[in-house]
Chains A and B, each alone.
Chain A
Amino acid sequence: MSKLNAKIPEGPLADKWTNHKAKLRLVNPANRKKLDIIIVGTGLSGASAASTLGELGYNVKVFCYQDSPRRAHSVAAQGGINATKNYKNDNDSVYRLFYDMLKGGDFRAREANVYRAAEVSNQVIDHYTALGVPFARDYGGLIENRSFGGVQVSRTFYAKGQTGQQCLIGAYSALSRQIAKGTVTMYPRREMMDLVIVEGKARGIIARNLITGEIERHSAHAVILATGGYGTIYYLSTLALNSNGSSAWRAFKQGALFANPSFVQIHPTSIPVLNDHQCKLTLMSESLRNDGRVWVPKQKGDKRNPNDIPEDERDYYLERRYPAFGNLVPRDVASRAAKERCDAGYGVGPTGLSVYLDFRDAINKKGRNAIEDNYGNLFEMYEKITGESPYETPMRIYPAGHYTMGGLWVDYNLMTTIPGLFAIGEANFSDHGANRLGASSLMQTSGDGYFIIPYTIADYLADDIRTPKISVNSPEFENAENGVKERIEKLLSIGGTETATSFHKRLGKIMWDYCGMVRNEEGLKKALIQLDELKEEFWKNLKVPDTANELNQELEKANRVADFLELGKLLVFDALNRRESCGAHFREESQTENGEAKRDDEHFSYVAAWEFAGDGKEPILHKEELKFEFVKLQERSYK
């Protein structure tokens, strides 16, 4: 039998989660406080799981690398969070959100998981509202909604362009309440360095105290990774600079399978690269495409001021190519279309690598105040960075690495292939297929934490109620700690000449050029060779200043880059293996006459889950066939 049992419940789609919940075992309240749960990460999934499990009475320990749990990168999500409330009476429903997500993901996600994500979305909105998240409201005091890419209803709840921040502050406040009550212990400024497995089960982590450098052992009955995505592998991305893939990578090397690693979302609307010193690309929310129109000049290399280019000399290429969805096509489609125009020589700006996102028509129609009300903070942010006001000149935007649909493989209970190790939020792979629709991330990550993991983890822990506290003095902890110390010593002792940042930049370029928006076999094979060379050079010529026993940000970086160099190869293996185009994964060899992605359902309708086979060895592929019982596979068309 395959290693992979997704444990999808039988029965009609709409009843699966309900039936499954009814069968999940419970843990008696009196037993919960005897059970320890470690959660790594305090974004929306980590914070929501932590507060909820704390409310239920478990003994929760939470870790984050930031100085406060409130700073996790969910904070930067801008546009909104989806739910199927149908407050707009536009015929929205759980089924419709499910279908939009499944189609948006180009039919590379599990039906049952996606349906459940849609099903719990309304509860998430209710909970955030109760916590005091100030969603936008109309003058009647009721909640407003807006549209997002890839859908034809308005189901997105938002708080200006700071929805992630507002939700995270809500989740953080609930977490803070549990910390005060003592059900949750918070360990900030800690980095997970390794996972500890005892008798086949995840039983703890080794963490580094980022202030003192001390290596700590922490044990638990179960471990939840809520560590987000690995988009910073491109060096330049919309993510926080310290976001990283190390926890997931440690888990992978300990035996957890990694699914669809090459499914990375390149977000279409980021502020373009301005200079060489840049280490970060700032996102401009997809919600802007509600009112902004994307265009380039019809004439190649047109250097006129955009406001001087008359209407009939502008190519609104999204409206032209995709009349049904226009500017609101999904992100992967919009990104590739921008790249296509720029590659063909129609790009604008000093580098020719950007397109216009123009609000002129919306401002004329709705008035400046209405636009300011919806997007004020985004316009301000844009102006601070570029020195130009989007009220007067169109924004210039270009795609940037953003979100990873791939992640640790999990079953329907959100458990990885290591018993007792769970992965939630962006860290897992399960709900977005090959492309994520806007505002579905906050929805899924919160749903996982508030309404799914608390139920499914109980079923796992029900077997552990007689298991005493896990000792940290076992040989397994000892070995794991020694391994971590050796690795740190090694990083510090290379004594080369090149910094971790410099290696990261070089890695990013390889990944962006060969495993970014467009991939082909030749390029991917080149990337494999270059990644091997770069890794070798890294371990020979890395320079890390200072010592292990102090706050050492360069050491932190080096440790993360070392993992990225290996993870990069896994992305490339996965992209090579999938000789079809689907969602964000675009293989040049597999496209329609019009340059749209061409899926190959006959050969690739599966989740590619990779198993670590040892350092220097090719990972082993396991396939989880995707069965579509309730929807008919279709060509994903937004025309």
Chain B
Amino acid sequence: MKITLKIWRQKDARSKGKFETYKLDNVAPDMSFLEMLDSLNQQLIAEGKSPVAFDHDCREGICGSCGIYINGRPHGNDRKVTTCELRLRKFKDGDTITVEPWRARAFPVVKDLIVDRSAFDKIIQAGGYISVNAGAAQDANAIPVPKHNADVAFDTASCIGCGACVAACKNASAMLFIAAKVTHLAQFPQGRIEAAERVKRMIAKMDELGFGSCTNTRACEAECPKGISISTIAKLNREYFVAKLKD
């Protein structure tokens, strides 16, 4: 396959970025998107040029490191995949592909396709946990949890923190990310105890960090590689209103 790549190049956070065009003449349909970038980088290094910087690690869709905006969509045009799982068989011979970093005020570009997503860590630090110290827990079966709740907890806890929801959202909102965490922890009896505090602190942190609001366009849900449903945002709103009413 022949592919033309238009890739966002930006030396560091302060520099101005621009698109550069690269041509690859010999890529295979069963290559992953990142393997294509790997091979481009080998070519660039051989030519004495700077390779394209991008975040990646596990290469199996679970660590959440990778995240590239491909032809205007986070993680590209396949359903429920991360960039590392995207295969070139999803493209056609001769395609031109536009490759950009996540674009969001709260995710400043670090270099090329790498952005700073530490805002997500700060939101979790604001309350995305159950307060229990090691050694303080009772037997794991002491509190039965209905299977339905356990399944909902699993589905929402499967968020990998990649940031595709923010990148997809025209408002760069982090609501799906927060909703997933709030919904996850609210499924357990021990998670309910600090539920009100949690949701207020996480939302306040989100606002402080410059993420936008949710206007129900559902782009986040469409692009989430783990298929987390926008209905969790409804649950988040409910948790938030209930918490605020008690203030």
Q: Residues on A close to B: CB < 8 A?
A: 48, 51-52, 55, 66-73, 75-76, 85, 87, 123, 125-143, 159-160, 162, 165-166, 169, 172-174, 176-177, 179-180, 186, 188, 211, 240-243, 274-275, 277-280, 282-283, 380-381, 384-385, 387, 450-451, 454, 497, 499, 501-502, 543, 545-546, 550-551, 553-554
Contact = CB atoms under 8 A, between A and B. Distances in A.
B64 A71 contact: yes
Nearest to B80: A380
B101 interface: no
Contacts of A136: 150, 154
Interface in B163-198: 184-185, 187-188, 190-191
B247 to A, nearest CB: 21
Contacts of A275: 28, 30-31
A454 B191 CA distance: 26
9 smallest beta-carbon distances between A and B, as pairs = A141-B144, A130-B137, A173-B129, A134-B153, A129-B140, A126-B137, A134-B154, A280-B59, A180-B125
Contacts of B129: 131-132, 173-174, 176-177
B145 A277 contact: no
B185 A454 contact: no
Contacts of B89: 387
B56 interface: yes
A240 B157 contact: no
B12 A75 contact: no
A130 B63 contact: no
A620 to B, nearest CB: 35
Given A76-B63, A134-B153, A135-B150, A173 B118 contact: no
Contacts of A166: 154, 157-158
Contacts of B103: none
Contacts of A546: 50
Given A166-B154, A241-B59, 16 more contacts: A67-B116, A67-B117, A70-B64, A127-B135, A132-B184, A134-B187, A136-B150, A141-B145, A142-B144, A143-B141, A166-B157, A177-B125, A242-B57, A275-B30, A384-B85, A499-B45
B211 interface: no
A85 B38 contact: no
Contact of B65 (A67, A179, A380): A67
B215 interface: no
A131 B55 CA distance: 29
Contacts of A381: 60-61, 85
24 contacts: A55-B133, A70-B121, A75-B64, A127-B137, A129-B140, A130-B137, A132-B190, A134-B151, A135-B150, A137-B146, A142-B144, A162-B158, A169-B157, A173-B128, A173-B129, A176-B121, A274-B30, A275-B28, A277-B31, A278-B35, A381-B61, A385-B87, A497-B46, A545-B49
Interface in B39-81: 39, 42, 44-46, 48-51, 53, 55-65, 78, 80-81
Given A177-B125, A240-B63, A545-B48, A551 B137 contact: no
Contacts of B245: none
Contacts of A140: 144
B136 to A, nearest CB: 7
B59 A551 contact: no
A137 B145 contact: yes
Contacts of B64: 68, 70-71, 75
A130 B132 contact: yes
A176 B62 contact: no
A278 B138 CA distance: 46
Interface residues of B, number: 78
Interface in B78-97: 78, 80-81, 85, 87, 89
B106 to A, nearest CB: 14
A38 to B, nearest CB: 19
A142 B145 CA distance: 7
Given A85-B140, A127-B137, A551-B53, A134 B157 contact: yes
A159 B11 CA distance: 41
B135 A123 contact: yes
B59 A279 contact: yes
B132 A550 contact: no
A87 B141 CA distance: 9
B163 to A, nearest CB: 10
Contacts of B135: 123, 127, 450-451
A117 B47 CA distance: 52
A51 B133 CA distance: 8
B134 A454 contact: yes
A127 B132 contact: yes
B12 to A, nearest CB: 7
B35 A76 contact: no
A380 B85 CA distance: 11
Given A165-B160, A176-B128, A75 B62 contact: yes
B102 interface: no
Contacts of B136: 130
A595 to B, nearest CB: 32
B130 interface: yes
B134 A51 contact: yes
B60 A143 contact: no
Residue from A71, A132, A136 having most chain B Cβ neighbours under 10 A: A132
Contacts of B187: 132, 134
Contact of B60 (A69, A177, A282, A451): A282
Contact of B184 (A55, A134, A188, A387): A134
B35 A279 contact: yes
A131 B132 contact: yes
Interface string B5-23: 0000001100000000000
B114 to A, nearest CB: 7
Nearest to B39: A277
Residue from B30, B39, B116, B138 having most chain A Cβ neighbours under 10 A: B30
Contacts of A70: 64, 121, 161
B244 to A, nearest CB: 22
Residue from B132, B140, B190 having most chain A Cβ neighbours under 10 A: B140
A497 B80 CA distance: 39
B243 interface: no
A166 B184 CA distance: 11
A14 B50 CA distance: 59
A551 B58 CA distance: 20
B126 interface: yes
Contact of B130 (A71, A173, A380): A173
A71 B184 CA distance: 19
A280 B60 contact: yes
Given A52-B134, A68-B161, A132 B51 contact: no
B29 to A, nearest CB: 9
A450 to B, nearest CB: 5
A211 B109 CA distance: 11
Given A165-B158, A275-B30, A545-B45, A67 B55 contact: yes
